Amino acid sequence: MTLVTLRKPAAIEPRALILLFPVIALMHEFEEWNILGWHRAVNTGVPDVTDLHVRTALGIVVLANFVWAGASLIPRSKQWSSNLILPLVAIGVMNGIQHLIWTIQFGRYAPGVVFGFLVFTPIALYFAYRVLRERLVPRWFVIALGSVVLAAIVLTLLRGDEIDPMVKSAMLFARGLWEG
């Protein structure tokens, strides 16, 4: 007599996973809420900005994630949705790996590593695996995006303690919104 029957869990539909990405991004940005002090402690080239500027940039990133994910769900086709969301997923994986690199490089917690690397990255890789396995996206597209992620990771390693130029640009953009 068998007391427990183990069944393979049902796979999560790729379109359902798309809904998770902006929610995880929101949690990731909350984790980064006080990141300016961290940047000042570990990075060179941090611009003259305030927490308000940084938090405005974080809010814009969250909004962009929700808009991008929502737009990718407009087509009813799983193929179209998967192709539209995959660049955002690649950006998230790149950022998650950057946070892991910074945690190791600076020998201290890098705000964003929990939701960026430990939560987002495994789900994103599962998503990429699923859309490849189901042939929803061309293999060359995933390879191209992976190459861009790899290049960004190499640049992160080479940059040392210099602030990431995209982060710096986001801070300056948000400062410009407040200061005109």
93 close to 121: Cβ distance less than 8 angstroms: yes
Give the tens place of pLDDT for each residue, 24-74.
999 999 999 999 999 999 999 999 999 999 999 999 999 999 999 999 999
Question: Residue 156, SS3?
Answer: helix
Residue 162: phi and psi, rounded to 5, are: -70, 135
Q: Is residue 122 part of a domain?
A: yes
Question: Residue 162, SS3?
Answer: strand
pTM: 0.90
- Overall number of domains in the chain: 1
Q: Is residue 141 part of a domain?
A: yes
88 close to 21: Cβ distance less than 8 angstroms: yes
Q: What pLDDT is attached to residue 7?
A: 67
Instruction: Give every CB contact of residue 52 below 8 A, 6+ residues apart in sequence.
Output: 178
Q: Is residue 2 part of a domain?
A: no
Q: What pLDDT is attached to residue 82?
A: 96
Q: Is residue 1 part of a domain?
A: no
Q: Is residue 6 part of a domain?
A: no
DSSP string, 28-69: HHHHTTTHHHHHHHH-BS--S--HHHHHHHHHHHHHHHHHHH
Range of the domain at 29: 15-179
Q: What pLDDT is attached to residue 22?
A: 96
Q: What pLDDT is attached to residue 12?
A: 79
Q: Is residue 3 part of a domain?
A: no
Q: What pLDDT is attached to residue 5?
A: 67
110 close to 37: Cβ distance less than 8 angstroms: no
Q: What pLDDT is attached to residue 9?
A: 61
113 close to 99: Cβ distance less than 8 angstroms: yes
Q: Using 70 as the pLDDT threshold, list the residues of the chain that sit under it.
A: 1-10
Q: Is residue 5 part of a domain?
A: no
Q: Is residue 123 part of a domain?
A: yes
Q: What pLDDT is attached to residue 10?
A: 67
